[in-house]
Copies of this chain bind each other. A is one copy, B any other.
Amino acid sequence: MKRSLGPRALLYPTPVVVVGSYDSAGKPNVMTAAWAGVCCSRPPCLAVSIRPSRYSYEGITRRQAFTLGIASAEHVRQVDYFGLVSGVAEDKFAVAGLTPVRADTVDAPYVAEFPIALECRLLHAIDLGVHTQFIGEVLDFKADESVLGPEGLPDIEKVRPFLYAPGQSTYFEVGPRLARAFAVGKDIGG
C-alpha cells in the first residue's frame, strides 16, 4: 500500500555536480548541486537548478556560461565543502587545494582534479520558484584519459562518481552492474 507524502521534490538517485563560473571580478567559483540532469541529446544540453541567492547565479548569467564537473568519490569532502560555503566569502578553489582551469569553449572554469568537465553555454534560464533552471548547451565534454573505457568514452566504474539521496542527506557510491540496457527486457512479450 502506498502512502501519500504530499508535494515533494524527491528523486532517486540524483547526481552530484560541481558548477563552475567566474564572478564579476574574474575569480573562479564553484558550487555543488544535485538538481541536475541531461535534458537533450542533440544539441547536447544539460540542466542545473540554482537559487538566485547563490553567488554563482550572477556569474553564470553575466558570462552566459558555466561548467559542470563530476568528481570521484575520493573528492567527496571537497565537493561537500563546495556546497556548504559561499564564494562571496572564500576562494573555494584555494581553500580546498584544487586547481581552476579556464574552459576552452566558454568563459567559465572547471576543477582540474575531477575526472570529467562539461563546458556549457547558457541557453535558457527558467524561473520556477525558489530555483532557476539553467539549461546549457554542452560545447565540449572533457574527461581524464584514465577514466576512459576501450571505446573512448568514460567508464562509470573508473569515474567513480557518487550520488545523492535527497531527504537522507547522504552520498552513496555507484554499485555493481545490474543489467544491460536495451537488452535485458527484450524477451518480455517477445
Contact = CB atoms under 8 A, between A and B. Distances in A.
A46 B9 contact: yes
Nearest to A101: B2
A2 B117 contact: yes
B172 A42 contact: no
Nearest to A94: B189
Interface residues of A, number: 107
B179 A77 contact: yes
A84 B174 CA distance: 25
A132 to B, nearest CB: 8
Interface string A43-67: 1111101000000000000000000
A16 B107 CA distance: 32
A147 to B, nearest CB: 9
Contact of A185 (B14, B81, B152): B81
Given A44-B8, A45-B9, A181 B189 contact: no
Interface in A69-98: 70, 73, 76-85, 90, 95-96
Given A169-B182, A185-B80, A142 B9 contact: no
Contacts of A181: 80, 83, 164, 169-171
Given A12-B174, A39-B133, A96-B189, 14 more contacts: A1-B145, A2-B142, A5-B153, A8-B138, A9-B46, A10-B141, A40-B128, A42-B129, A80-B181, A84-B186, A151-B167, A171-B177, A171-B178, A173-B176
